[in-house]
């Protein structure tokens, strides 16, 4: 890969916690518009990798380029978010006492104070954006319900919708289907594939059936580096990957 054809490019990144190398010369290239699944056993470094991209953790060495030219390791978390990198953490954090539509409205307004955003952002353009986002995240019929009354899976979708409202160039999604029903899991694969038509998406996930449904390139992390990369079929058949997963 070259810098110009990547939305995200990690080059020789390492992080050490108290003498332990959680990330070890990790290199990874994500093309613009690509969806990529990141898998790997517990402790492989998946969360730390996401923390490095978002500026929560600073690497000891290596570079992280966004959009082919901006070195993220020079920036703080707020600056990185402002560039258009949105992260969805594993647990949904929505405004429980607001309606589904108002949650999206708040996110569109970049809400610091829920009240100012709710009074300020009611206009036709915002309403059309809200409709589009709610349709993408399968919540059109639930727009008037309180977020607190949604199922766990629907809350995850609502939070993905809130991320979309911020119009990110790159979405980082952390174990989106943990705790979801099978039907919600299958629907989440469809939903993310739709989102990936217009955004670059990196998904960290344990659920292999779900990763297969995503149908995208897979990167297997192990001990802080890339162990294998390719289609889910190719990496599942890779002997080193099998050894790592079976713990031999």
- Interface with ligand ADP by CB under 6 A: which residues? 17-18, 20, 22, 40, 42-48
Please give the backbone phi and psi of residue 174, each rounded to the nearest 5 degrees, phi first: -100, 110
CA dist 242 and 211 (Å) reads 16
CB of 45 to ligand ADP, least distance (A): 4
Pick between residue 6 and residue 47 the one whose CB is nearest to ligand ADP: 47
Q: What is the β-pairing status of strands 85-88 and 61-66? A: unpaired
Residue with tokens 């290199």: 27
Q: Contact at 8 Å (CB) between 177 and 206?
A: no
Pick between residue 20 and residue 115 the one whose CB is nearest to ligand ADP: 20
**Beta bridge partners of residue 29, listed in sequence order:** 9
CB of 15 to ligand ADP, least distance (A): 8
CB of 14 to ligand ADP, least distance (A): 12
Pick between residue 46 and residue 129 the one whose CB is nearest to ligand ADP: 46
Q: Is 56 helix (H, G, I), strand (E, B) or coil?
A: coil
**Beta bridge partners of residue 9, listed in sequence order:** 29, 65
CA dist 60 and 78 (Å) reads 20
CB of 208 to ligand ADP, least distance (A): 15
Pick between residue 21 and residue 145 the one whose CB is nearest to ligand ADP: 21
CB of 204 to ligand ADP, least distance (A): 7
Q: Quick one: residue 75, left, alpha or beta (phi over 0 = left, psi -120 to 50 = alpha)?
A: beta
Pick between residue 109 and residue 221 the one whose CB is nearest to ligand ADP: 221
Q: Residue 62: which residues within 8 A CB-CB, separation 6 or more?
A: 10, 11, 12, 13, 14, 25, 26, 27, 73
CB of 196 to ligand ADP, least distance (A): 22
Pick between residue 40 and residue 86 the one whose CB is nearest to ligand ADP: 40
């Amino acid at each position: 890969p070259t810098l110009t054809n990547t939305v995200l490019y990690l080059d020789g990144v390492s992080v050490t916690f108290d003498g332990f190398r959680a990330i070890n010369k990790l290199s990874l290239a994500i093309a613009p518009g690509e969806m990529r699944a990141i898998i790997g056993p517990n402790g492989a470094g998946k969360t730390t990798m996401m923390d490095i991209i978002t500026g929560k953790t600073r690497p000891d060495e290596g570079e992280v380029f966004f959009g082919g030219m901006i070195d993220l390791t020079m920036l703080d978390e707020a600056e990185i978010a402002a560039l258009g990198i949105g992260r969805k953490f594993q647990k949904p954090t929505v405004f429980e006492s607001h309606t589904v539509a108002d949650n999206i409205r708040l996110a569109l307004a970049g809400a610091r104070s829920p009240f100012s955003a709710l009074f300020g952002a009611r206009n036709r353009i915002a309403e059309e954006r809200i409709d589009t986002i709610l349709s993408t995240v399968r919540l059109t019929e639930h727009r008037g319900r309180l977020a607190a009354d949604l199922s766990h899976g629907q809350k995850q979708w609502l939070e993905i919708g809130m991320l979309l409202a911020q119009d990110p160039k790159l979405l980082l999604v952390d174990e989106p289907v943990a705790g979801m029903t099978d039907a919600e899991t299958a629907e989440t694969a469809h939903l993310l594939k739709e989102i990936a038509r217009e955004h670059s998406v990196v998904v960290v996930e344990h659920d292999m059936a779900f990763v297969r449904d995503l149908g995208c390139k897979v990167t297997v992390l192990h001990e802080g580096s890339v162990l294998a990369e390719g289609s889910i079929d190719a990496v599942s058949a890779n002997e080193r990957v099998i050894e790592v997963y079976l713990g031999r």
